[in-house]
Structure 1
Amino acid sequence: MATFNNFVLQLMLTITLILLAEAAKDRRAIPSEEEQKELERQLKAINKSAIKSFKTEQGEIYDCIDIHKQLAFDHHLLKDHNIQMKPTSVPKWITSKNISQKVDPLQLLPRGISCPDGTVIVKRTTMQDLLNVQHLKSIGFNSYRHGHTEGNNIDLTGHHFATVDYKYSTVSGVKGNINLWDLQVSQDQVSLATMAIAGGPIENLASISVGWMVNPLLYQDHVHLYTYWTADGYQKTGCYDIRCPGFVQVSKRIPLGVLLKPVSIYNGTQYQMELSLHQDRATGDWWFIFGGVNVGYWPKSLFIASGLAKGTDKASWGGQVYSPLTKKSPFMGSGHFPNEGFGKAAFINGIEIIDGKGEALIPQIYTIKTHKSSPNCYKAKFIHDDDDPWIRAVFYGGPGGCTGQLLSEESQGLKNLDKL
């Protein structure tokens, strides 16, 4: 009887703790009156007056906004900016082999969603979106982190990388075909595939990254197109997509943050999206192009005091995940290691750069280094054999399961190896 009573007592205590935890969670989700007013002010600033609006089956709302009244022009550096509808120069990329299906960016939105001329399509930000961003910050995920920042003063706690990195000479453009996977991650976790450029000193790093992300707090569910930029090492500038002024949207068909489909199947059909970033040689603006369609650009003036105003010397392709230290880290890529190969492991192929003269180049092998911050959980394999289906590519990813302690032990081991 005593044993049974102890069991009942433990059960009641457990239920009480769960209820208290849920109540605390609910209290955190309800902002104070002052916070509510601030969030409403932010929403009003972010969501511009729509000429036309659409709601998808997933509950996402897309607005058609006057191209001249979009959020970008709230930025103090863009008050007198003249919109460029297309780049004055477009790189002639090198044609590479393709053994997977390419996603058509113009087919991503449901039929019937069409914005009129003179407008751009923008995904509407909700009050819950802002609350979710606050929650992400509270658990330690402030923003995307570039792999080149590892080992420096920028906080990388909970972040894990598996990439190939270029750092050699001036880069004015990058390209890659990013394999699409739809992963399951918990509410507080992030998994992404990225292509990024960066420049300037580490403590004031400027970077732009594009790719796909699975992040329930930012994108509800499934895999979404994402972009991120910063001009000062993730301190005061930059954001995801168009959640702050900066990115100038020109497309009325491809919104940032859009749901991506179809996705790859393990040991089945593989899908990829063709993305590129390049600096317009006449204006210095950084253009984002998806499947040959101009989505928009980050004006040069955003980076005038940073390392991206005149090209850069750092680029990377691969995967990144984030998890609070209280949880084991999630899947990266397909959730399988690179040695499983095509159809099973995630990849980015067609890796190319634009040099300082504006010419497309396949990076030389000695200019690329593989970066695996947590090799027990995630790996990256650089493909550089001309006999392979792709001349330059990376297989990356893994099943996860890392903790903050494991990461610190591996990092210490890498530091010790450097001393040998």
Structure 2
Amino acid sequence: MDSHLTSSLIPRNWKQWKFWIFVCVQLLLIVGSTQADRKLQQQSANQLRQLQAHTINNNTQHAPPVMSFSVSDGSWVDCIPIEGQIAAYHPALNGHKIHTEPSSSTRRSSRVQSSHLHPQLFAREQGGCPEGSIPLKRSDSSHKFLKKSTTNGTELIIPKGNKREIHEHVTVALQQSPHSYSGSHAVFSVNGPILESEEDFSLSQLWIFDGEWDDGTWSTIEVGWQTQPLMHPHDEPLAPHLFIFWTHDAYNNTGCYDLECPGFVQVDSKWVIGGAMPSYTTLAENKSLEFEVELEVLYDPAQSVWWLYVNNDPVGYWPASIFDGRLQGSASKLEWGGEICYFREANVDVRSKTAMGSGALPLHGYPIAAYLRNISYADADGHFFDAKPSVLRRHGGRQFPLCYDIAIQENGSRDWGAYFFFGGSGLNNPVKDLREILKE
């Protein structure tokens, strides 16, 4: 080595020593920072891989909340970063860019009067979550994967341990036709049905179907309100809750309620999916008032997703990719109506006292009986039409009409379009008892 070059690199006084010490320290900091960044990136990648692996076992968790709020009904709401919600870790959504709003405004015009009072307490009391986050009702139930079932409105019995799980429906539907529908809409009365047991549930909803039941490809999007104490054990006993549900394999292994598993992507900061609807009517109250919620699901072809609108707000969406080849831009069947679920021992054949709707039969009409109004649908091209009674097919209620029934109507005294009354109080609560209640 050249001795002159070597000696020129050796500091000859204290100022030079300080300069070279400073340079070395900065180099060490840069190297350390780079290594730390790499470590953080590696940890982040490892965490993502772990979350994706957990998805397979339905154990995926939301990211930690940025804020949490106590609501006056006793529930807690956590504000989760939009990118940190469970949906972000669905295997079919790897690399999915979250849509913050629909690409098109072509949809059904709103049929409810706007109100400054939000239907849910969280939005009323807290105004919503901070920007970039969504509200998540803190789970107080161990039921992370809850199945629902339907077979075109007929009674369905599913063995569950020593008990039979029995579902009964009263619904109306459009004729099943492949690739025919891309949207569903209705305005729902919101009621507080009385349940026979805390195991039971009662609901009102719309269904969007595709696939076949027999080969296990039956796929659904479901939205409505439900009273289900097992999911909300600390809430007011009758309180109905906004809910969503989906499956792509006939309720066997995929899908869930609300945001309990990867799938639905929420973007709205105010609506709490799974949250209570405190404004609702019981049988004793709805002689003078009915509370309502407007629900719509519409496919967005530019984004390849099914958007959910609640009272005209775009709350979130189901990406078509989660349905494993079904619901790819269109559906084969639409349905609207009510459902109850109850349980019986194997050798017991007594029907349920759990109420559907308000608990009143359709013959009582407005404002006593529960209803869905302004029922409409979008064809495969996204154009909306009123669902005329002549095209609606009734399911359920015929075998035991004193339990639960449904009555399709049209062109009443109000601008309700196509609508129906539905519900009942169960076989052990005959009509004459309801009439006595209504006289009080």
Give the alignment's TM-score, normalised by structure 2.
0.73
Report the Cα distance in structure 2 between the residues aligned to 1:372 and 1:360, rounded to whole angstroms: 26
Report the Cα distance in structure 2 between the residues aligned to 1:43 and 1:50, rounded to whole angstroms: 20
1:62 to 73, 77, 80: 77
Partner of residue 164, structure 1: 172
* 1:292 to 2:306 alignment: no
Report the Cα distance in structure 1 between the residues aligned to 2:297 and 2:412, rounded to whole angstroms: 25
Letter in 2 for 1:283: Q
Instruction: Tell me the secondary structure at the aligned position of residue 301 of structure 1.
Output: helix
Tell me how far 1:91 sits from its aligned partner: 3.0
* Match runs of 1:170-181 below 5 Å: 170-181=180-191
Q: Is the 8 A contact 1:162 1:379 kept in 2?
A: yes
Q: Would the alpha carbon gap of residues 384 and 150 (structure 1) be closer, same or farther in structure 2, given more than 3 Å must change? A: same
Which string of whole-angstrom CA distances, capped at 9 and with x for unpartnered residues, describes residues 360-397 of structure 1? 10123332111124433100111124666422011100
Letter in 2 for 1:314: K
* 1:71 to 2:62 alignment: no
Instruction: Tell me the secondary structure at the aligned position of residue 323 of structure 1.
Output: strand
Partner of residue 12, structure 2: none
1:283 to 296, 303, 313: 303
Root mean square deviation of aligned Cα = 2.9
Q: Is the 8 A contact 1:352 1:362 kept in 2?
A: yes
Instruction: Tell me the secondary structure at the aligned position of residue 312 of structure 1.
Output: coil
Q: Would the alpha carbon gap of residues 56 and 108 (structure 1) be closer, same or farther in structure 2, given more than 3 Å must change? A: closer
Partner of residue 145, structure 1: 149
Report the Cα distance in structure 1 between the residues aligned to 2:117 and 2:366, rounded to whole angstroms: 18
Q: Would the alpha carbon gap of residues 151 and 319 (structure 1) be closer, same or farther in structure 2, given more than 3 Å must change? A: closer
Q: Would the alpha carbon gap of residues 95 and 67 (structure 1) be closer, same or farther in structure 2, given more than 3 Å must change? A: closer
Tell me how far 1:305 sits from its aligned partner: 1.6
* 1:346 to 2:354 alignment: no
Tell me how far 1:400 sits from its aligned partner: 1.1
Tell me how far 1:322 sits from its aligned partner: 0.4
Which string of whole-angstrom CA distances, capped at 9 and with x for unpartnered residues, describes residues 13-53 of structure 1? xxxxxxxxxxxxxxxxxxxxxxxxxx9x9897334211101
Report the Cα distance in structure 1 between the residues aligned to 2:184 and 2:92, rounded to whole angstroms: 25
Q: Is the 8 A contact 1:283 1:300 kept in 2?
A: no
Q: Would the alpha carbon gap of residues 225 and 145 (structure 1) be closer, same or farther in structure 2, given more than 3 Å must change? A: same
Partner of residue 271, structure 1: 291
**Aligned-residue identity in percent:** 28
Which string of whole-angstrom CA distances, capped at 9 and with x for unpartnered residues, describes residues 74-114 of structure 1? 21111211100111123332565x69999744765341353
Partner of residue 377, structure 1: 403
Report the Cα distance in structure 1 between the residues aligned to 2:109 and 2:267, rounded to whole angstroms: 26
Report the Cα distance in structure 2 between the residues aligned to 1:102 and 1:309, rounded to whole angstroms: 36
* 1:199 to 2:210 alignment: yes
Q: Is the 8 A contact 1:72 1:246 kept in 2?
A: yes
Report the Cα distance in structure 2 between the residues aligned to 1:349 and 1:223, rounded to whole angstroms: 19
Partner of residue 230, structure 1: 247
Which string of whole-angstrom CA distances, capped at 9 and with x for unpartnered residues, describes residues 321-379 of structure 1? 00102474200001010010001000000101011111110123332111124433100
Query: Size of the alignment, in residue pairs?
Result: 352
Instruction: Tell me the secondary structure at the aligned position of residue 98 of structure 2.
Output: coil
Report the Cα distance in structure 2 between the residues aligned to 1:213 and 1:319, rounded to whole angstroms: 10
* Structure 2, gaps ≥5 residues long: 1-53, 429-440
Partner of residue 262, structure 1: 279
Q: Is the 8 A contact 1:89 1:281 kept in 2?
A: no
More helix by share: 1
Report the Cα distance in structure 1 between the residues aligned to 2:298 and 2:221, rounded to whole angstroms: 11
Larger Rg: 2
Tell me how far 1:118 sits from its aligned partner: 1.1
Q: Is the 8 A contact 1:133 1:217 kept in 2?
A: no
* Structure 1, gaps ≥5 residues long: 1-38, 135-141, 403-420
Instruction: Tell me the secondary structure at the aligned position of residue 302 of structure 1.
Output: helix
Report the Cα distance in structure 1 between the residues aligned to 2:316 and 2:390, rounded to whole angstroms: 33
2:342 to 316, 320, 323: 323
Tell me how far 1:313 sits from its aligned partner: 2.3
Report the Cα distance in structure 2 between the residues aligned to 1:48 and 1:198, rounded to whole angstroms: 31
Q: Would the alpha carbon gap of residues 377 and 102 (structure 1) be closer, same or farther in structure 2, given more than 3 Å must change? A: farther
Give the alignment's TM-score, normalised by structure 1.
0.77
Partner of residue 39, structure 2: none
Letter in 1 for 2:207: A
Q: Is the 8 A contact 1:160 1:321 kept in 2?
A: yes
Report the Cα distance in structure 2 between the residues aligned to 1:321 and 1:106, rounded to whole angstroms: 24
Report the Cα distance in structure 2 between the residues aligned to 1:340 and 1:283, rounded to whole angstroms: 44
Partner of residue 29, structure 1: none
Q: Is the 8 A contact 1:108 1:259 kept in 2?
A: no
Q: Would the alpha carbon gap of residues 372 and 150 (structure 1) be closer, same or farther in structure 2, given more than 3 Å must change? A: closer
Q: Is the 8 A contact 2:300 2:307 kept in 1?
A: yes
Letter in 1 for 2:206: M
